[in-house]
Structure 1
Amino acid sequence: MSTKLITKEGHEALKKELDYLWREKRPDTTRKVTWAASLGDRSENADYQYNKKLLREIDRRVRYLRKRLEDMRVVEYMPEQEGRVFFGAWVDIENEQGETKRFRIVGYDEIYDRMDYISIDSPMARALLRKEVDDEAIVQTPGGEVCWWITGIEYVK
């Protein structure tokens, strides 16, 4: 199971998604299902079958978001974090070949559609936690150990 932490921004985004699904998308889809059902034979009605399936997917996502939002703990920036890598940090790293990366360590529910976010549960994030600038982090990968150096740490304040 994933760590039940989330940033303030991530929490707001999930609440916004839940609100959209419940107040806009679900009522619209319900109207379409009702309209398609009124046309008669449901077994051969593509509009009815598609929208009924969509309604089930919406309901599944709404249930997930409600439960997840209830269980999660919002982690906000604290000045004591400054200078070390903790949850919510933007981290700049570099390897021996000079390859650089920049990403933010966030909760599992925040990483989708973002190439610059990594989960707190990932091997990279675990290797970087509590480290400081110029510290070395050894990351376990399927190809073996990889060494990265931390070149910068920033927090959203």
Structure 2
Amino acid sequence: MRKVNTPNMSLTSLTTMHPGCGLSHRSQSYNSISSLEENNFYNTEPVLSIEELRIHLNSCFTCGVSWYEDHVSLDCGECGGYSLERPCPMCEGRCRSQWKRDLTMSHTTGKAKWAGQCGLRSNQSDNTSGTSLSSSSGVEKITSS
């Protein structure tokens, strides 16, 4: 490969030897990057930036509101009436613990899923560590993992 530099552009010449071919060599020159673009070397599908992906994942897949901006839909099962955090559902917030939305499970099931620990119940003999909560249509179901 031979490269010739000029003040405003670079000229590259590619030479390939093909012994089985009747021609002794072939060459192709590219005068600019724009000539490469004409050959569609680049994928034209849109790509999400990290910020756009974060915003997308922190939004409701069902109704489209942005939990990141503290928006919710009260009649949406995936929103469950809260954005990314909510007061402890086991004691209705008396322990002042905040539970975080389980984004993966909320998106997968289409219903609000929460992960956290009740500050009042964790002191009792019943160990509730790893407790998650599912909320749908105002009905709450508590499961331990």
The TM-score normalised by the length of structure 2 is 0.24
Of Structure 1 and Structure 2, the greater helix share is in 1
Higher-RCO chain (CA-CA 8 Å, sequence separation at least 6): 1
Question: Which structure: larger Rg?
Answer: 2
The TM-score normalised by the length of structure 1 is 0.23
